[in-house]
Every structure is written in C-alpha cells, then in structure tokens.
Amino acid sequence: RNLEKEQDFIQRVSAQSPNDIVNFDVRGTLITVKRSTLRIFKDSQLSRQFDNATWPSQNTNATSVKQWSYQQVVDWAKHQAEIPDEVVGLFEENKVTGLELLAFGREDLKE
C-alpha cells in the first residue's frame, strides 16, 4: 500500500512542469509544493511572489529535477512522508539521479 502511495506521488510530481514545483529549505527542512498552492490566497505576499508575471524572472537559477545529483534526490526523498526510509536507502545505495528518478515507471518502483 505504501509503495502505491509513493508511486502515485512520484507520478504526480514528475508530471508537473519544473516551473510549477517550488522547493523550500525552511530551517533545514526541505519542502516541495506546487506553485498553485502558494497562490490560493490571491492578496497574499506568496501569491504576488509566485504569480505568472513575476515567477519566470525569479526562477532562472532553479535546478530542474532532471539535473539533480543523487544526493539531491536522497535529500528530497528523506523529506517526503510518502516515501518509506527503505526506498530512500535504495535511492542512496544506487545513487539515483533526478533524471533516473523521473525515468522510473510504476513497475520499476515496485521492484
């Protein structure tokens, strides 16, 4: 059951445009959210910061998931509640990069 949740989560994240996913480091805790979530309250500072007119100019230095090193994949996976520690360990042991993570299919993750 946990593997199915993990697979669904990875499918949802990898199907998004890299510009629609925002990664934050909040006091050492990595948080990944959809930009649309940050824009729920239209008059908020977050909404203004991540609106369509402002976001592209601010996002020029963001690293695409496709360019993540295996350590970035492991760091990200450690902070995802849906990904079991066993899977995080496998990502680290096999040095799975961002490009490889995106290439995984559902069957690959079951193995």
Report pLDDT digits (tens) over 6-61.
767 766 666 555 567 777 777 777 788 887 888 888 888 777 777 765 554 455 55
Asked if pLDDT for residue 86 goes beyond 80, the answer is yes
Q: Which amino acid is at 5?
A: K
Positive or negative: CA dihedral 32, 35, 36, 40: positive
DSSP H stretches of helix in the chain: 2-14, 35-38, 45-49, 55-58, 70-78, 85-93, 98-103, 106-110
Q: Which amino acid is at 75?
A: D
Question: Residues near 90 by Cβ (< 8 Å), separated by ≥ 6?
Answer: 96
Question: Residues near 33 by Cβ (< 8 Å), separated by ≥ 6?
Answer: 21, 22, 24
Asked if pLDDT for residue 97 goes beyond 60, the answer is yes
The residue-averaged pLDDT of 58-81 equals 76
> Per the confidence metrics, is the pTM higher than 0.75?
no
Asked if pLDDT for residue 90 goes beyond 80, the answer is yes
